[in-house]
Structure 1
C-alpha cells in the first residue's frame, strides 16, 4: 500500500468515526405542546419524545412562567411502554407565555438539554 492509499484509508476511517459520534446524541423528536405554539386551552401535561432511550434518573422537565418563576411540577416520568418519552403533569395554567426546559441522558451517557416556549391565550 502506498502513502496515498494509507492517507485515504485513514481519512475514511476518521470520517466514519466522527459521523458515528455525531449521531450518538439524544435529540427531541416531538413535543406536546409544540414549540412556539399558541394554545387556546392550557395543556394538562408536557410530553417529550426523543430519538433514543432515556436514562430515567437523569431526565427532568421544568416549567417557568413569563416572569421566569419556576412552576412546581410533579416528578418527571419516563413512559414504561416507550422509554424514549418523558412527561410531566401540569397544574392549571393561566394565560401567558411559558418556558419548558428539559434535560436528559441517553443510556450511552450523553447528557443533553434544551428549552422551548409556548403560549396560552
Structure 2
C-alpha cells in the first residue's frame, strides 16, 4: 500500500514540475521600426524578431489611422524573424503592426506594436530634444527599447494540473476504500 502512495506522489510531483520548463511562450524580441518609435521616413519593410523560432504560417498586418489596412507583400518567416514589404509609402501618422504567430511551443501568440512616421515639417523627438536643449542635432539617436516578450497565461496548465491531481487523489481514495472492504 505504501508503494501506491509513493507512485501517486511521484506522478503528481512530475505533473507539477513538467510545465515549469515548457510554460514560456514566444514573444517579440525587437522590431524595425521599433515599438513606440518615430521614424523620419516611411519604412519600406517591417522586420519582427522573436525570442524563439516561429511557425511558417505566422503573419502580420499594418493598420493606419482609423484602422485602415496597408498592403504588405512578401511576408517571409526565417527561423525567428518575420519580414514583409510595404506595397506603398506610408504617409505621416501613427501605425499599428498586428502580428499573429505560432511559437516553437505550438501556442498561438498575437500582439501589436506601434510606430509613427513623421509628418511633413514635423521634427523627430530627438530633434525636438536637441533644439530645446540648445544643442546641435549631431547627437546620436538613442536606441529604442525592445518590446517586452509577450507571454500567455498559465491558466490552462494550472487547470490540467489541478484536474490530474484530483484524479490521482480520487483514484487513491477508491483503491484505499476497496482494500478496506476486502
Question: TM over 0.5: same fold?
Answer: yes
- Determine which of 69, 72, 84 is the counterpart of 1:88: 84
Q: TM-score, normalised by structure 1?
A: 0.80
Q: Which runs of 5+ in 2 are unaligned?
A: 119-182
Query: How many positions carry a matched residue from both structures?
Result: 116
The one of 107, 112, 132 equivalent to 1:110 is 107
Write 1 or 2 for the structure with the bigger share of strand.
1
Aligned ranges 1:25-40 → 2 under 5 Å:
25-40=25-40
Q: Report the equivalent of 1:66.
A: 65
Instruction: Indicate conservation of the 8 Å contact 1:61/1:87, yes or no.
Output: no
| Corresponding position of 1:77 | 76
Q: Which residue of 2 aligns with 1:21?
A: 22
Deviation at 1:113, TM superposition (A): 0.7
Aligned 8 A contact 2:26 2:104 in 1:
no
- Judging changes above 3 Å, is the alpha-carbon distance between structure 1 residues 107 and 18 closer, same or farther for their aligned structure 2 residues? closer
Once the two structures are overlaid, the 10-residue window that deviates more, 10-19 or 59-68, is 10-19
Partner Cα distance (1:8, 1:42) in 2: 59
Larger Rg over CA atoms: 2
Question: 2:9 and 2:39 mapped to 1: Cα distance?
Answer: 54
Cα distance, 1:66 vs structure 2: 0.9
Q: Is the 8 A contact 1:54 1:105 kept in 2?
A: yes
CA RMSD of aligned residues (A): 2.4
Give distance in 1, aligned partners of 2:108 and 2:67.
24
Q: Which has the higher helix share?
A: 2
